[in-house]
């Protein structure tokens, strides 16, 4: 699987492979799914991590255990012993794959030295305790140069940069600014308010129409920038980046000017509008694209750019 493609401006675009099940049949986010991606030669792999109540770290996407496993309750309120015998769901059926844990994922990474980076998408719901931060950093320390911690939790990123200044970090602003999706947001997940500019946004700048959509994007981008460590990579929904570009605000260029790189997620190669977004973002020098199907995306973009 080719790890990188080059865009028309001779700048490399990293393709981040979700440990999802579009190109395999393992439960999304499981150790089996991760190993499949590693064996396939993925250059960068993303997997979700949720901190538990006892300073353990589970490979889970949802805090509600019933959403992805045969368990019930909130993951962040559980200990390892309470969930270690649960199984992931696949197509609304209990799979044969038990819930995995962070140290097992890191052990797998060590066995596949060709993989350049494991992206740990960290999903805490509260500030981490000092003991939890120390435990997390101790676990990743042997492979810290191959790990990137990404999160919507800006408060955790600010804590991590104090404890491990050299750790690669990434921020997703979806709890602060996001599109209106076809499926309703869970009632306990912000932003809670539809703003005047047609986006989910609880910030005061979204209450009234005070300027153009491009002006609004520029103001919100500036406000969000101060929430995370400088140089942090940004993971922004591809459709949101396109919406900003259509409004004459180049969020990618703005972040580049402020010392950050940008990833657009998640490109579905089987949808024509997603491929159009990928081409647009590559033309605007995006640094990375997240996809469940990297080989297909590489093939299509490589053919179109004569690589």
End-to-end Cα distance, the chain: 15
Burial 6-25 (b: 16+ CB within 10 A, else e): ebeeeeebbbbbbbbbbbbe
- How far is residue 38's CA from residue 16's CA, in Å, rounded to a whole number? 12
**pLDDT attached to residue 1:** 30
CB 174 within 8 A of CB 180: no
Q: How many domains does the chain have?
A: 1
Peptide bond into 191 cis (omega under 30): yes
> 44 — phi, psi (to 5°)?
-135, 130
Cα separation values, 301 from 7, 183, 270, 274, 297, Å: 8, 30, 13, 12, 6
- Which residue range(s) make up the domain with 69? 4-304
- Angle (CA) 206 212 214, round 5°: 90
Helix/strand/coil (H/E/C) assignment for every residue in 226-249? CCCCCCCEEEEEHHHHHHHHHCCC
Helix locations, 40-182, DSSP H = 80-83, 102-111, 130-140, 154-163
CB 236 within 8 A of CB 263: yes
- How far is residue 53's CA from residue 36's CA, in Å, rounded to a whole number? 29
- 51: domain CATH number is 3.20.20.190
DSSP E strands in 138-194: the ranges are 147-151, 168-171
**pLDDT attached to residue 307:** 41
**pLDDT attached to residue 21:** 64
Q: List the pLDDT tens digit at each of the 307 positions of the chain.
A: 333 333 323 345 787 777 776 677 899 899 999 999 999 888 999 999 999 999 999 999 999 999 999 999 999 999 999 999 999 998 889 999 999 999 999 999 999 999 999 999 999 999 999 999 999 999 999 999 999 999 999 999 999 999 999 999 999 999 999 999 888 888 889 999 999 999 999 999 999 999 999 999 999 999 999 999 999 999 999 999 999 999 999 999 999 999 999 999 999 999 999 999 999 999 999 999 999 888 888 888 876 654 4
**pLDDT attached to residue 183:** 84
Burial 145-178 (b: 16+ CB within 10 A, else e): ebbbbbbbbbebbebbbeebeebbbbbbbbebbb
- How far is residue 227's CA from residue 225's CA, in Å, rounded to a whole number? 6
Residue whose token pair is 């076809």:
182
């Amino acid at each position: 699987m080719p790890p990188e493609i080059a865009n028309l401006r001779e700048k490399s675009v990293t393709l981040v492979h979700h440990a999802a099940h579009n190109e395999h049949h393992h439960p999304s986010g499981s150790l089996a799914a991760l190993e499949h991606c590693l064996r396939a030669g993925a250059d960068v792999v993303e997997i979700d991590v949720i901190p538990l109540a006892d300073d353990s770290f589970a490979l889970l996407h949802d805090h509600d255990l019933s959403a992805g496993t045969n368990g019930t309750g909130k993951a962040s309120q559980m200990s390892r012993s309470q969930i270690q015998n649960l199984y992931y769901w696949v197509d609304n059926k209990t799979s044969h794959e038990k819930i995995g844990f962070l140290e097992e994922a890191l052990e797998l990474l060590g066995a596949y030295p060709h993989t350049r980076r494991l992206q740990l998408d960290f999903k805490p719901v509260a500030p981490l305790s000092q003991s939890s931060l120390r435990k997390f950093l101790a676990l990743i320390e042997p492979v810290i140069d191959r790990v990137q911690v990404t999160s919507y939790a800006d408060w955790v990123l600010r804590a991590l940069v104090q404890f491990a200044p050299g750790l690669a970090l990434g921020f997703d602003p979806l709890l602060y600014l996001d599109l209106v999706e076809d499926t309703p947001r869970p009632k306990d997940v912000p932003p809670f308010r539809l703003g005047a500019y047609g986006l989910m946004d609880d910030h005061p700048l979204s209450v009234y129409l005070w300027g153009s959509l491009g002006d609004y994007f520029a103001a919100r981008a500036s406000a969000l920038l101060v929430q995370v460590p400088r140089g942090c990579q940004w993971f922004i929904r591809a459709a949101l980046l396109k919406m900003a570009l259509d409004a004459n605000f180049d969020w990618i260029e703005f972040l580049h000017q402020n010392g950050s790189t940008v990833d657009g997620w998640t490109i579905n190669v089987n949808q024509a509008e997603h491929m159009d977004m990928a081409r647009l973002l590559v033309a605007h020098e995006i640094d990375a694209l997240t996809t469940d199907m990297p080989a297909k995306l590489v093939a299509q973009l490589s053919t179109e750019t004569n690589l």
